[in-house]
């Protein structure tokens, strides 16, 4: 694993170069290196998996969009438009927070309903007859 640590110190270009050289030498070697780099999270976005990451990354991009510019968005020169843009962005952020809290409440209500149904089924289930002390259960 010393080779992997050395390549990690050079970053993704080193892994890409090793993959290309592996394919040039013998295609199964290149395929093995490619599978290793993707499987270990050394390529692409790292260890995040699942569909939730798209929403998280999209929300993060929207949140940080104005931070690329010093002090937020640059002025358009039209003060009324700038105020409208700021108000719209604030409203969208508030709606996103409200929607996320709605989804959390919805999930919690669904979980509670499922648990209540489980407990009701468990209460209504007939109890098995108990065997006398001397008999073996089987």
User: What confidence tens digit (pLDDT) does each residue in 71-83 have?
Assistant: 567 888 889 999 9
Per-residue pLDDT band for 70 (boundaries 50, 70, 90) equals very low
Phi, psi (rounded to 5 degrees) for 49: -135, 160
pLDDT tens for 108-137 read: 999 999 999 999 998 888 777 776 666 655
Indicate if the alpha-carbon torsion angle 85, 87, 93, 99 is positive or negative: negative
Q: Averaged over 90-94, what is the pLDDT?
A: 94
Rounded CA separation 86/53 (Å): 27
């Amino acid at each position: 694993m010393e080779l992997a640590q050395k390549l990690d110190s050079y970053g993704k270009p080193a892994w890409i170069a090793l993959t290309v050289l592996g394919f040039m030498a013998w295609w199964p070697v290149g395929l093995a290196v490619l599978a290793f780099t993707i499987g270990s999270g050394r390529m692409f976005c790292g260890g995040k998996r699942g569909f939730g990451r798209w929403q998280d990354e999209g929300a993060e991009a929207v949140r940080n969009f104005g931070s690329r510019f010093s002090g937020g968005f640059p002025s358009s020169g039209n003060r009324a438009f700038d105020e409208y843009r700021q108000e719209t962005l604030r409203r969208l952020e508030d709606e996103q927070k409200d929607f996320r809290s709605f989804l959390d409440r919805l999930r919690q209500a669904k979980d509670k309903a499922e648990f209540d149904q489980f407990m009701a089924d468990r209460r209504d289930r007939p109890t098995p007859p108990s065997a006398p002390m001397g008999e073996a259960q089987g």
